[in-house]
Structure 1
Amino acid sequence: MNVIVGNKLKKLRKAKNMSQEEIADYLNISQSAYARMERGESTSWATHFNKICALFEIKPEILVSKNEEELKNYERESDSVEIVNQLSEKIIEQYEARIKELKKTIKDLKRKE
């Protein structure tokens, strides 16, 4: 079970683009203690079970299930969220540029009055 959970922890961490150190800080443990969890050498993941599920925004059964399909679904959802976030950022940048242009136009019009 430790190896199964460890592999999932590694996949979840990478899907979130987080380092082992960042996860360890969140769990208030050392980076090496977290690395042992990912390698399946430690059972301490059970102590941090709720915090891990909260961090990765997963249902508890995803972490302990032997079914890899549930994790793959989570990874696909994470990819979709990342794409939406990137698109949102681009749209915001475009709106900010447009607002800047409009402010300049308003300023120019006021000067002409």
Structure 2
Amino acid sequence: MNNLVGNKLKILRKNKKMSQEEVADFLGISQSAYARMESGESSSWANYILKICEVFAIFPEELLKVEDLKPDADRKEDPSRETGTHLSDKVIEQYEERIKELRKIIKKLKKERKLK
């Protein structure tokens, strides 16, 4: 989640043509603390979510959802989509593993039921 939010913060900041220092000043934190949020190294963005939404004029849901933001026109790839796709792939893999586990449990229960 930190990488997803970090990528979105970077896109939002660049779309507003702001520096990391300007956003950090608005939030009342150091530029390096804000840089850690953008890089995904920090989850402290959660403490500042309302102020972040205020500076970028968005709702909290927009910051947390997996799709929709577009980077500046000069950027060819959209890191929020890449992260979203990666996140989706991981969720799918987790569900597939869980389905395999549940199938084994069902098979075992059916076998036990036949024995009774």
**TM-score w.r.t. structure 2 length?**
0.59
Aligned equivalents of 1:51, 1:75: Cα separation in 2 = 22
- 1:25 matched to 2:15? The reply is no
Counterpart secondary structure, 2:21: helix
Higher fraction of helix: 1
- Aligned residues with identical type, % of pairs: 63
Asked if the contact 2:14–2:72 (Cα under 8 Å) also holds between the matched residues in 1, the reply is: no
Q: Which runs of 5+ in 1 are unaligned?
A: 77-113
Report deviation, 1:59: 1.4
Report deviation, 1:36: 0.2
Report deviation, 1:52: 0.3
Deviation per CA, 1:5-43, whole angstroms, max 9, x where unpaired?
000000000000000000000000000000000000000
Aligned to 1:10: 10
Aligned equivalents of 1:60, 1:75: Cα separation in 2 = 21
**How do 1:36-51 residues align onto structure 2 when only pairs under 5 Å count?**
36-51=36-51
Aligned to 1:87: none
Report deviation, 1:60: 1.1
In the TM superposition, structure 1's runs of 4+ consecutive aligned residues that sit over 2 Å from their partners are: none
Report deviation, 1:75: 7.1
Q: Looking at CA atoms only, which structure, 1 or 2, has the larger radius of gyration?
A: 1
Q: Which runs of 5+ in 2 are unaligned?
A: 74-116
Aligned equivalents of 2:36, 2:60: Cα separation in 1 = 20
| Letter in structure 1 aligned against 2:16 | K
Deviation per CA, 1:21-72, whole angstroms, max 9, x where unpaired?
00000000000000000000000000000000011001111101112x2x23
**TM-score w.r.t. structure 1 length?**
0.61
Asked if the contact 2:53–2:59 (Cα under 8 Å) also holds between the matched residues in 1, the reply is: yes
| Letter in structure 2 aligned against 1:66 | V
